[in-house]
Amino acid sequence: MKAALVSTKLHHLYRNLIWRSFSTKFAMANSKFEYVRNFETDDRCLPNTWIVVRVDGRGFHKFSEKHEFAKPNDKRSLDLMGKAAGRVMTEFKEICLAYGQSDEFSFVFKRDMDLHKRRASKLMTSVASIFTSAFVFHWPQFFDIPLKYPPSFDGRVVLYPSTQNLRDYLSWRQADCHINNLYNTAFWTLVLKGNLTNAEVISLKVL
């Protein structure tokens, strides 16, 4: 009780002497400067379109070398990518499909969803951040060696008006995946099993 009494007095002190002047001063400063909020733009995605957010590893060629990724594909890395994507889908129930390959992952939001008022910046930064966070957080579950430095992923938003456009987007990423995989498999087979150097394989000019 006594404590409460003291605190009530304390609160009166605040109210009467300090708070009234300081809070007013800061609030006035705040409202004086608040006009800068008007410089933010409204970047809501067109309604009734499929929203695709794609994240891409930044500088992953170097990152994979520094962390000695297996060639042509590193299962640990692919599994970790999948784990990170799962985390994104857990946080955003509005995502209906995700597709990944190499150091990229695409997330498809339902076309009628209204999360974050469909603001492009909010969606792409949140997805990129959650994906990155989960990638770093779960790293020890998939790799024996520790992370040498924090990796990162950039992101973008693309809108597809029709379901056919969305299918073609996914087909595009899939074809890209096969082309790269076939190339990498052939390349690294020639290097690892054919005993050629990287430069020799490139000089063959077949691939």
Q: Could you tell me which stretch among 67-75, 96-104, 133-141 binds its own copies (CB under 8 A)?
A: 133-141
Phi then psi dihedrals of residue 165, to 5 deg: -60, -40
Q: Where are the beta strands (DSSP E) in the chain?
A: 50-57, 95-101, 104-109, 153-160
Q: Total binding residues for its own copies by CB under 8 A? A: 90
Q: Applying CB under 8 A, does 199 fall inside the site for its own copies?
A: no
Confirm or reject binding of residue 100 to its own copies (CB under 8 A).
Answer: no
Looking up tokens 């969305």 gives 166
Q: In angstroms, rounded to a whole number, what is the distance separating the alpha carbons of residues 16 and 145?
A: 59
Map residues 73-92 to x or -, x wherever contact with its own copies holds by CB under 8 A: --------------x---x-
21 among annotated binding-site residues? no
Among residues 81, 78, 158, 88, the alpha carbon closest in space to that of 129 is found at 88
Given 78, 96, 97, 159, the residue binding its own copies (CB under 8 A): 159
Closest by CA to 78, choosing from 11, 195, 177, is: 177
Could you say whether residue 49 binds its own copies (CB under 8 A)? Answer: yes
Does the annotation list 178 as a binding residue? no
CB of 74 to its own copies, least distance (A): 19
102 in a known ligand binding site: yes
With CA atoms as reference, report the closest residue to 156 among 70, 1, 45: 45
The verdict on whether residue 43 carries a ligand-binding annotation is no
Q: Is 151 in the site for its own copies (CB under 8 A)?
A: yes
Pick one of 68, 121, 145, 198: the residue that binds its own copies (CB under 8 A): 121
Choose, by CB under 8 A, the member of 156, 198, 202, 203 that binds its own copies.
156
Q: Does 11 bind its own copies (CB under 8 A)?
A: yes
Q: Nearer Cβ to its own copies, position 27 or 70?
A: 27
Q: Which of 175, 198, 202, 203 binds its own copies (CB under 8 A)?
A: 175
Beta carbons within 8 Å of 120's beta carbon, 6+ residues apart: 43, 44, 45, 157
Token pair 């009734």: residue: 48
Residue 157 binds its own copies (CB under 8 A): yes
DSSP conformational letter for 34: G
Per DSSP, 116 falls in state G
Dihedrals phi, psi of 205, to nearest 5 degrees: 55, 30
Binding residues for GTP: 56-61, 102-103
Binding residues: 56-61, 102-103
